[in-house]
Amino acid sequence: MNDVDDDKDTNGHRTELPVMHFRSISNARHVTEERHRSVWWPRQFPQIAEVFEDDVDFDKEEMLTVKEKSMCVDTEHLVSRGACKIPGVMELLLGTHDPKSKLSKFRGFELILRMIATRLAELHADKWIEKDGVYAVAIGKVRFPESKNRYCNMMPIKIGDPATIPPEYEDYLPLIAAVPLARDDWAEVAYLTIDERQVEAGQSHRRAGLHVEAPTIGLKENINFFEFPEGHMPLTLRWGRGYFIHHNKKHDDEVISVRTNTGTYGHFEGGLFMASNIDDSCRVYNCKPTADAPRGKLGDLEHLRRFMPLGHTLKKNTLVWLCDLAPHESLPLPESTYRQFFRLVTRHIDVWYADHSTPNPLCELPSHVRVIHGSKFAVHEDVDIDDDDTVAPGTELYYSKPFFS
């Protein structure tokens, strides 16, 4: 059958795909009528197979909008956390909000919907989390300087050049010098974050919820401005990248070697380093999501929490290295606490969010970094970045609203 004919009705006229809007989704997703009555569903859930006995016809003009609060808690959680990318979940949500579908019987039954969505995730979870490898390493203890209520975020500095450190942050130079950077990072631009402030009881200092740093913006396969080791081409933009390269010996004249808890040695290529002065305020996971794993906006992984390996809760003054795909989270503090946070992201980034970051008059951004103006929370997670001349490296992009609404 011709692919074009699939979108025509019995009279040969072009049909319109129905559009579904969720309050917690920033784009309109077009869904064909076959998706939520596929024969795949009865095979996985025999107990609800009867809902597929009858055909379901969509009104081609109908706009399905989630406004009811009956499923707000769990459905909104599923959608906003990226679980709509789990195979079958979008079909489930579509069916429950289509009055012509027998799946609408499940509307309002939050626990049943969560059970089904969880089962769907379990069917694929073993393909979503890569646990064999080194993606997060506790390096050692560092010492923080006296706190002075300072704040900078992703501020560019040149590694090895103290003159690019603004005077108000000079007492962080010993901590920066303690970071075991690769030789290739010297004289390159890295990105410094310092956050010193009071955190109220029950609140997290930094970003709460399980997430990775790499922005979830899809790349086309033929993109050519990356230089990655073979087999490591990412499907997201870089936010430090990061690999742990194993050695056969303890000492290497070219790099700074570190020892893992398995007794092997290696060094870090790229990635990011962070530390804080408060116990049990951050948790990291030595794993990474695979290219097939459904990720939410801005790297959110909360919907995959139950499939993570055991996390490591960091003690104070522990310097840790992460690749930009290593899951981590800032934890709520049991009591009001003054916390200092340090992070250094290596040179491998592609975007710099101007409205969320700190410029440095002593150090310019590299020409390949794209400057994005506007809230990063308004940038949709699935936009393609092309490698043609329409969006050249160094171009400044402006986002005043989501790409789709």
DSSP state of 332: P
Distance of alpha carbon 328 from its chain centroid, rounded? 10
Top-confidence residue, 81 or 195? 195
Give kind and range of the element (H or E) at residue 402.
none
End-to-end CA distance of the chain: 34
Which residue's structure tokens are 């990474």? Answer: 288
Compute the radius of gyration of the chain from its Cα atoms. 24
276/144 Cα distance (integer angstroms): 8
Q: Are 18 and 60 in contact (CB under 8 A)?
A: yes
Report field, pTM of the whole predicted structure over 0.75 = no
Q: Which pLDDT belongs to residue 170?
A: 96
Q: What is the average pLDDT across 59-63?
A: 30
Residue 300: beta bridge partners? 211
Q: Which pLDDT belongs to residue 276?
A: 97
Q: What is the average pLDDT across 124-153?
A: 88
51/44 Cα distance (integer angstroms): 13
143/149 Cα distance (integer angstroms): 17
Contacts of 10 (CB under 8 A, 6+ apart): none
Most confident of 4-8, 134-138, 168-172, 243-247: 168-172
Sign of the dihedral defined by the CA atoms of residues 257, 258, 263, 264, in that order: negative
DSSP state of 353: E
Cα angle 207, 217, 184 (rounded to 5 degrees) comes to: 80
Number of Cβ within a 10 Å radius of residue 91: 21
Strands (E), 260-311: 265-269, 272-276, 282-284, 288-289
Query: Which three-class secondary structure state does DSSP give residue 123?
Result: helix
**Beta strand 136-141 with 318-322: parallel, antiparallel or unpaired?**
antiparallel
Taking alpha carbons only, the member of 71, 124, 73 closest to residue 94 is: 71
Domain chopping of the chain, boundaries? 5-127, 132-398
Of 184-193, 213-222, 275-284, minimum mean pLDDT range: 213-222
Q: What letter represents residue 152's amino acid? A: C
Q: Convert the pLDDT of each residue in 108-118 to its tens digit.
A: 777 777 778 77
Top-confidence residue, 308 or 1? 308
What is the 3-state composition of the chain as percent helix, strand, coil, each rounded to the nearest 5? 25, 25, 55
Q: What letter represents residue 81's amino acid? A: R
Q: Which pLDDT belongs to residue 6?
A: 36
201/278 Cα distance (integer angstroms): 13
Sign of the dihedral defined by the CA atoms of residues 373, 376, 382, 385, in that order: positive
Q: Is the pLDDT of residue 36 over 50?
A: no
Which residue's structure tokens are 């050249």? Answer: 392
DSSP state of 8: B
How many residues make up the chain in this entry?
405
Distance of alpha carbon 392 from its chain centroid, rounded? 24
Number of Cβ within a 10 Å radius of residue 16: 12
Of 25-34, 168-177, 196-205, 208-217, minimum mean pLDDT range: 25-34
Of 76-80, 165-169, 370-374, minimum mean pLDDT range: 76-80
Structure-token pair, residue 397: 């992009």
Burial of 343 (0-12, 13-18, 19+ CB in 10 A): buried
Give kind and range of the element (H or E) at residue 30.
strand 29-30
Top-confidence residue, 140 or 191? 191
Q: What is the average pLDDT across 88-113?
A: 78
Mean pLDDT of the chain: 68
